[in-house]
Structure 1
Amino acid sequence: MTTWWQCSLGDQITLQRGVDITRKESSFGSVPVISSGGLSFYHNVSIDNGPGVVIGRKGSLGTVYWVNQPYWPHDTTLWVKDFKGNDSRFVYYALKSLDTKSLDVGSSNPTLNRNHVHPIQIWWTNLDTQREITTALSALDDKIELNRRIAGTLEEMARALYRSWFVDFDPVRAKAEGREPAHMDGATAALFPDRFGEDGLPEGWHSRSLEEVADFLNGAALQKFPPEEGCESLPVIKIAELRLGITEKTARASANLPTKYRINNGDVLFSWSGSLLQKVWTEGAGALNQHLFKVTSEHVPKWFHYYAVDQHMDEFRQIAASKATTMGHIQRRHLREAMVALPDDPRILEAAGRIVAAAFDRAIAASLENQTLAELRDTLLPKLMSGDIRVGEAREMAEAAE
């Protein structure tokens, strides 16, 4: 029989402040150091053997992490020192369902004090029900993690083929040395030349800049499009959203902004300032803020311009890092100076696309599915933690989504 009762969080777990350590003080190892922002670096000594639950207490306030191995909780976190016989994964979900950000006691930097967390009144249940709830929710989390790994593997496969064909020119080098190109049939191999020109490119290929092969639309100053009461609004996609996704801190803008600044699933976004990174957006409609490019092309497939930018990302980051007096960024001229190689024969791009596009598109599909799964999990979480929905119903919904 399912029984729920109200108690303080401190009745069920004991939180402990993490232990300070810097990257410089760490030693090479496989123990993750978990800070308020998540995984920071690795060390060779653990504070807790895991599985463990860590909650951000400074900076990224109230963010909860599940760690399924020995780990080191950083000083910017609180960690569960004693689960008091409760299911550890249930405790993780219970903490995720709480609004701890309202307990901020920091004057300038957001801070969470464990003495203010322990008295929080919550609904709790017996161990059997805890495990049933954990099974239902973890099924969704496990699927999300599997999709994340699949997407990462597929993207790496696509990146590897792009670099082999269009950066390292492996098929051309193989033919120039009298070898058969690896991992392709004879018809595809025949498309590649067997020599290089004086410019160092495969014979019959040409060089183009990133700005020539793709369009880089800079975002708008979205404070000019504030949300209007009673009208549709869109989340403002800034660098933080590109890194962490849409959160409760995400600003909103009016949906009545020029269509070109609207972001949809599948759009390629590239932050050219601050944290330089590129991502295929999968979190629904949004508004493109300054310091982000929306990258499109009428000349090459999406996968090609995505990996063409990726090809130059390290040098872009070095350029940005060299700007010591301002926020690191790149300029339009850097896009004009970054060159990519293109074959004159369009059949080579078509042959690559049959492999790369399939992996690239499947990776995007896995990320999109994760958004659906995460939304279902986040909908079920508070209902399960308050007893408003039966575990059996939640399990059926989770199984239907797998």
Structure 2
Amino acid sequence: MKSNQPVDWEEIQLGELFTAHYGKSLTQKNRVPGKYKVYGSSGITGTHNEFLVKGPGLIIGRKGTIGNVYYEKNSFYPIDTTYYVKESNRYDLLFLYYKLKTLDLDKMNTHSAVPGLNREQLYSIKTKFPKITEQKAIANILSTLDEKIETNNQINEKLEEMAQALFKHWFVDFEFPNENGEPYKSSGGEMVESELGMIPKGWEVKTINDISSEIITGKTPSTKEKENFGGNIPFVKIPDMHGKVYVEKTETYLSEKGAVKNKIVPKNSIMVSCIATPGIVSLAGQSCQTNQQINTIINKDNKMCYFNFFSLRNLSDTIRTLGSSGSATLNLNKNQFSKIKIVVPPKEMTDKYFNVVDKIFETIYLNQKENLKLIELRDTLLPKLMSGEIRVPLDNETLVEQS
């Protein structure tokens, strides 16, 4: 127990505070897609038309991915790899959520073959809790940060949908505005045969190699030489790309020694995963390098970056199919990747698209940057607020640091 914890906080054994209820089995074949989120030990696994628990509530991973804690404000369905915790007048549920996240539950594995979190071991944990009024004040600060992060994510999702909808309208449906401002195809614009089907007159079928000034396959420096790592050069791996328009922060960073000079990827380059999980597409948020599982398109014309981004996103299924060669690990090599064909409009069309959506992408980028700062602030405050090292006056005007 930390010595700086305040004396007016009560030490409580978790088993005396709440009940961890077992989730209930819900196989895929028995699920009916609906409005209620289904939670497993690693998070949301789908939806169902019925709920098991009236929200809000907490979900704790108990088998497989143990110790993960989720807060759900709406009614939900926790499956049998989880525990769930209901609201109570004995604690503030949001405070309990943040408290549990600081208790290293993921390290409490009691099963050898399949990781498991024993309920009695969970109940045996002792920790200190403030009075419920202070719990609410602390939870309010942390949840305000989380809500802002979620708001930014929702805004980015909508902005991305807008930019993608316009891309589809212009470059897939061929309804870009003609010289009279009318939708090209439906207004009788001339279409011609191509190897990829009918396309507008003046458009071309090109390869990824044609639209790139260079295609860079990343490389991992020797992990035996520790001096190759720990610098300030972002080193992008596939997990860094999941769910991201821009990759700005990475789990691993290279040193100047570890970086390979001819593998530098400039901002707004298109990074595409081609091995293991092929078909994930992200923009480089800053100059970086990638590992060998990623091929990166260096844009021949920077104003084509957003067109190239969505073109590659639209080819995700093709990339996955090409990477399925029958081997255990999916693998699309650079040569195959460079020969993938896309329909490319005249430069004035990609320039016009760039000018329309550039502000959209800039806002997405700035929101992602802001979220990184908010996450860093939240993660810095979390252990200090949960331990009482920083106290929150009940008027919420200032934060006070414990001496």
TM-score if structure 2 supplies the norm length? 0.82
CA distance in 1, matches of 2:314, 2:117: 41
Q: Cα offset for 1:265?
A: 7.2
Query: Could you say if the C-alpha distance between residues 164 and 225 of structure 1 is closer, same or farther in structure 2, counting changes exceeding 3 Å?
Result: farther
Aligned counterpart, 2:320: 317
Q: Secondary structure at the match of 2:200?
A: coil
CA distance in 2, matches of 1:244, 1:226: 31
CA distance in 2, matches of 1:397, 1:244: 35
1:339 to 333, 341, 349: 341
Alignment of 1:133-152 (within 5 A): 133-152=138-157
Alignment of 1:61-100 (within 5 A): 61-81=66-86, 83=88, 85-100=90-105
Contact 1:271 1:291 in 2 (8 A): yes
Query: Could you say if the C-alpha distance between residues 366 and 291 of structure 1 is closer, same or farther in structure 2, counting changes exceeding 3 Å?
Result: same
Contact 1:225 1:253 in 2 (8 A): no
Aligned counterpart, 1:171: 176
Alignment of 1:2-401 (within 5 A): 3-81=8-86, 83=88, 85-171=90-176, 180-181=181-182, 194-199=189-194, 200-214=198-212, 215-224=214-223, 226-228=225-227, 232=231, 237-243=236-242, 254-257=255-258, 258-261=260-263, 268-276=270-278, 277-280=280-283, 288-300=290-302, 301-320=304-323, 322-344=324-346, 346-391=347-392
Identity %: 28
Deviations 1:60-91 (A, max 9, x none): 33222111111111222222146453111111
Query: Could you say if the C-alpha distance between residues 111 and 292 of structure 1 is closer, same or farther in structure 2, counting changes exceeding 3 Å?
Result: farther
CA distance in 1, matches of 2:14, 2:262: 48
Q: Cα offset for 1:19?
A: 1.9
CA distance in 2, matches of 1:120, 1:2: 19
Query: Could you say if the C-alpha distance between residues 334 and 397 of structure 1 is closer, same or farther in structure 2, counting changes exceeding 3 Å?
Result: farther
Q: Cα offset for 1:252?
A: 6.6
The runs of 5 or more residues in structure 2 that have no matched partner are 1-5
Query: Could you say if the C-alpha distance between residues 374 and 394 of structure 1 is closer, same or farther in structure 2, counting changes exceeding 3 Å?
Result: farther
Q: Cα offset for 1:197?
A: 3.2
Query: Could you say if the C-alpha distance between residues 112 and 253 of structure 1 is closer, same or farther in structure 2, counting changes exceeding 3 Å?
Result: farther
Query: Could you say if the C-alpha distance between residues 80 and 265 of structure 1 is closer, same or farther in structure 2, counting changes exceeding 3 Å?
Result: farther
Contact 2:13 2:126 in 1 (8 A): yes
CA distance in 2, matches of 1:319, 1:70: 41
Q: Cα offset for 1:297?
A: 1.1
Q: Secondary structure at the match of 2:199?
A: coil
Deviations 1:31-73 (A, max 9, x none): 2111122111111222211111112223333222111111111
Query: Could you say if the C-alpha distance between residues 264 and 225 of structure 1 is closer, same or farther in structure 2, counting changes exceeding 3 Å?
Result: farther
Deviations 1:94-118 (A, max 9, x none): 1112211221223243322222112
**Matching residue's letter, 2:81:** T
Q: Secondary structure at the match of 2:28?
A: coil
CA distance in 2, matches of 1:234, 1:40: 34
CA distance in 2, matches of 1:347, 1:386: 59
Query: Could you say if the C-alpha distance between residues 251 and 194 of structure 1 is closer, same or farther in structure 2, counting changes exceeding 3 Å?
Result: closer
CA distance in 2, matches of 1:233, 1:61: 32
Query: Could you say if the C-alpha distance between residues 102 and 261 of structure 1 is closer, same or farther in structure 2, counting changes exceeding 3 Å?
Result: farther
Deviations 1:226-257 (A, max 9, x none): 423996376754323333899xx956765522
**Matching residue's letter, 1:355:** V
The runs of 5 or more residues in structure 1 that have no matched partner are 183-188
CA distance in 1, matches of 2:191, 2:23: 58
Q: Cα offset for 1:380?
A: 0.7
Q: Cα offset for 1:163?
A: 1.9
Aligned counterpart, 1:186: none
TM-score if structure 1 supplies the norm length? 0.83
CA distance in 2, matches of 1:2, 1:285: 49
Q: Secondary structure at the match of 2:378?
A: helix
Aligned counterpart, 1:185: none
Contact 1:193 1:203 in 2 (8 A): no
Q: Cα offset for 1:363?
A: 1.2
Contact 1:267 1:294 in 2 (8 A): yes
**Matching residue's letter, 1:332:** K
The range that moved more, 83-92 or 218-227, is: 218-227
The range that moved more, 329-338 or 271-280, is: 329-338
